[in-house]
Structure 1
Amino acid sequence: MSSDTATVDDGQLAARHRSMWASGDYPRLAAELVAPLGPVLVEAAGIGAGDRVLDVAAGTGNAAIPAARRGAVVTASDLTPELLERGRADAERLGVALEWREADAHALPFGGNEFDVVMSCIGVMFAPFHQRAADEMLRVCRTGGTIALINWTPEGHIGQLFATMKPYMPAPPPGAQPPPLWGREDHVRALFGDRVTDVVAQRRTLPVTQFADGAAFRDYFKAVYGPTIAAYRNVGDDADRAAQLDRDIARLGDELMAGSPRMEWEYLLLTARKA
């Protein structure tokens, strides 16, 4: 059962998150930077032909499409219809068949024990109520089925970016937890508890050579990444704070590069079996 005690209006919260992820151009970031993660997750989950697979918070389908290409029966679910539309267009262009469903990770519109594999690639971590989302993933996974996750770590680039942006963001709703916590093995183990077995967790890195310097890193995220766009919108017309946010994100980018043209974006790859 969920231990979250949030009293916010779920519909309003979902609308805010939907709007945030529809802003900017997340499909561009997904294609240019994080596309390699989807096949990594599919391989780790051992997905094969005929498997019933649910991708939670699938975005444009970086993991869902590779799973479908293996012959799995895939449903890609996400809160943001604009991302699903881009994913559907990509899949059609590639000749890959799968189902696209608008869905909130806190309340998945699927039956219990419906899927052989329930996965999420840097997606479910952004659902603000972690226990509710974990409970839903387990509910729809069959007994003996696989839970497979890739999540950014607190120590990696997204963890540090969120920490940098926190002073400029509106207060989170009561009961919400920071997304990068999903990148801690102990946190994910606590969410699933004794309802899973055979947990395998590895920290890995994704090499990124997209950016010339910290300013380029800042400008990219400022243009395409919903949470960063939300931070600047929250600052509003305060030019001094906007300039300070500019400096803070650029400084972080330089620190992540550490004098090299290459960043290493750390993530946690975790698989488990539903008990």
Structure 2
Amino acid sequence: MCNDPTEGAIPSGGIFQNVSAVHLEGNRKLCLRVPCMPHGHGRNVRLYIIVAIVVTLILCLTIGLLLYIKNKRVKVTAAAAVSEQLKPQAPMISYDELRVATEEFSQENLIGVGSFGSVYKGHLSHGTTVAVKVLDTLRTGSLKSFFAECETMKNSRHRNLVKLITSCSSVDFKNNDFLALVYEYLCNGSLEDWIKGRRKHANGNGLNLMERLNIAIDVACALDYLHNDSEIPVVHCDLKPTNILLGEDMTAKVGDFGLARKP
């Protein structure tokens, strides 16, 4: 009776003389001293290949996503730069033009004195009336104040903020540093002037209740814009009646951003 061909010892003759050179797969009962390939090895290989493909795809998708985000950021930055270049540039103005406009910075045209300089009323050559804030360059902090106002007003546009027309960085006739900011002129002065009775309506009356309420609303609107809607949020840091100016129609506007800073 013959033995089961799937069982038994490995023959010792013929090609089986060198057992190490013989590879038997699929019959564990013939696997004695020679290591055989485990059952299911083919499925494991396929699994490894699938895992490798999935990992490769994930890496490719991740790298592609990162490149897309980077490219999008570059485009946004470029668009912002172009937008900035397309903004209307402030007209240049010289020291001599301001000197003529204010009649040699005469006392008759002096309309206010602040922490870092003096404000003069002036008339430019094309007829525009302006307020010229001349900074005291010898005073500590004046240069910082100058740049703070320029930076703030450059990025801010609101009906309740005093409009900055241009600035001047030059030297005066004595060859000293000269810094000035040129603002729109508001003919009804500061809120402090009205509170203290230095200004009144033509009929001799001061601010009535409705005007006071409107001024409070205007100031609140200006602060809300600076804090929440400005391109760069700004904290004024020096809000007081002298820095609240009134236009011809008694619209209140906040000015003097020399101490302003980012929150």
Q: Is the helix fraction higher in 1 or 2? A: 1
Bigger-Rg structure (1/2): 2
> Under a length normalisation based on structure 1, what TM-score does the superposition of the two structures give?
0.26
> Under a length normalisation based on structure 2, what TM-score does the superposition of the two structures give?
0.26
Q: Is the strand fraction higher in 1 or 2? A: 1
